[in-house]
Amino acid sequence: MPRLFRTLILGLVAAAWIESAAAQSAPRPTPAVRRLMASLTLERQVAQLVMPWLLGNYVAYDGDGMALPRYWVDSLQVGGIIISIGSPMDVASKLNFLQRRSRLPLLIAADLEGGTAFRFPGATSFPTNMGVGATGRIEDAAALGRITALEGRAVGVHMNFAPVADVNNNPANPIINTRSFGGDPAAVARLVAATVTATKRAGMLATVKHFPGHGDTEVDSHISLPIVRGDWARLGGVELVPFRAAIAAGVDVVMSAHVALPGLTGDSTAPATLSKRVMTDVLRDSLGFRGLVVTDALDMGALVAAYGGGEAAVRAFEAGTDLLLMPSNPREVIAAMTAAIRSGRISRDRFERSLVRVLTIKEKLGLLRRRTVSLDSVAAVVGQRAFMDTARSVTRRSLVLVRDSGDVIRGIRSGGGDLALVTYGEPGWNSTLPQQLTRRGHRVQTFRLYPMSGPASYDSAQALVARAPTALFSVAVRVASGSGVITMPEPLATLIESTARARPTALVSFGSPYLLTQTPSVGGFLLAWTTGQAPEEAVAGALSGAPIMGTLPIDLPPRYRTGAGLILPAEIRFDAANRR
């Protein structure tokens, strides 16, 4: 047989096998799903695959703020909504209203990384994923998944865009950072699998993201297209390890990454979201994933600037996506997808496989029987004391004492001296650390710095620390979509460095763990991972003698490796709480 002919035959056989495998990956539609499909026009079928984004704040049902979501539900008949920041009761009420208006039940999703309080104030707040990684406990990851699922379902959310399965092995990454469980693929895999399993058992769909891995990048994909340089061997040994574990654990949903992988696709300009090689050949065929594939936000700069909203959605679907998330113009996406199906660019069979997946998930979630939630039960579930106590315990275990040169932290824990506390963070962070420390008997003088602080403010901070025997800097530099950086401003780093050379100085990071590279002279370095009441209470406790037990889940340049961390037992000290 001539080589060319043999190659052609093998290629046709391979293509047929791939098509067969893809077909088998879609569930067989039940009679109820078949009836739903038959009741919808093509445009309304396409709309079932579109999920726009909605703020969860309070708005009157007939107010102007509900005009657009009413249009999505009444006229476009979208298949779902991504709900964002709002109080638990406002979110539940708004979702109930939209569910009652919708012809078909809506699939509701939310990004609840680090607990339900990430979007819904008053709900339970865990440390970031990296904080959970610092505890090293599978049980803590499971608690995160279980409690988040129970609270999310109570307010009407069915699908959590978490856990993050990215391996954060690049300190310069401006968008993943503490959202990752850590830098060791095997450890991340264990924690991801535990979170997925607990989420599913509590009745919520878990989503692993950002496939095939967003950890080794230096660009925020909300702004432009990051490039992951690894080849197949590198991806298989690092980035894909947690995704394999999640699939083995039965994860329901995988979210794509807006990153280019030239070592895998040969193209440094096309994101994985639009690559059939990544989203079908690797995810479906190589890894054997049979669940729902969703895009990352389709309004992100990495896609919109290059392709436009409608074309980006069509290309993402061609690559292997089922659900199209957060388009800036849902109507444009529905029109583009409908035209692509009618022209034959997207086959009807391929389209119906995705439609069946989405409708089958709605049926399995019980939404065809009941789509609303009881408002009376929201306050009984969300933020309940048992959940809060569990999250506080995880938070206390997550603290990592990276360094204590000169016993700076130990000196603060023993008490008895004046302390100058300089706090830096966004204006929205109302830090309670000064009050927490004072309540525990520390004598504290404080000064607050902000990103917009000028030379006069820094001069005042310098004067404060110059008068105290020990200086403590409390800094919150956190991931912010669209910022493109995750470092301290130079004036702050300079102030900390100059202070550390003059007197005992400690730095507490309520965000990025990589600040030590900017402040190499600081004596004490304590990681608390995120802002909020629970981590600030935990830090105040640790600085007053409570045990410190976390270890690094990442490598911290230039000298600290994964697993490092000073473990300090509880210390009895004389303070205001112990006075008789």
Is 191 within 8 Å of 181 (Cβ atoms)?
yes
Nearest one of 366, 139, 371, 166 to 254, comparing CA atoms: 166
CA distance 163 to 136: 16
**CA-based angle 211:343:339, to the nearest 5?**
65
> CB count, 10 Å around CB of 427?
9
Look up residue 62 and give its two tokens. 């007939």
- Pure H helices in 214-370: 232-237, 240-248, 262-265, 276, 301-307, 309-319, 330-342, 348-364
Which uninterrupted H or E stretch holds 13?
A: helix 3-25
Nearest one of 384, 535, 411, 533 to 471, comparing CA atoms: 411
Dihedral, 35, 41, 45, 51 alpha carbons, nearest 10: -120
User: Helices H, strands E: what count in the chain?
Assistant: 23, 15
CA distance 131 to 299: 29
**CA-based angle 392:136:144, to the nearest 5?**
45
CA distance 176 to 4: 46
Q: How far apart are the first and last CA of the chain?
A: 96
Q: Which residues are catalytic?
A: 222, 296
> CB count, 10 Å around CB of 44?
18
Residue 548's SS3 state is: strand
Cα radius of gyration (the chain): 25
- Pure H helices in 467-509: 490-502
φ, ψ for residue 527 (rounded to 5)?
-105, 130
CA distance 264 to 70: 43
Name the DSSP class of 29: P
CA distance 342 to 364: 30
- Strands (DSSP E) along 220-303, which ranges? 253-256, 292-294
Name the DSSP class of 215: S
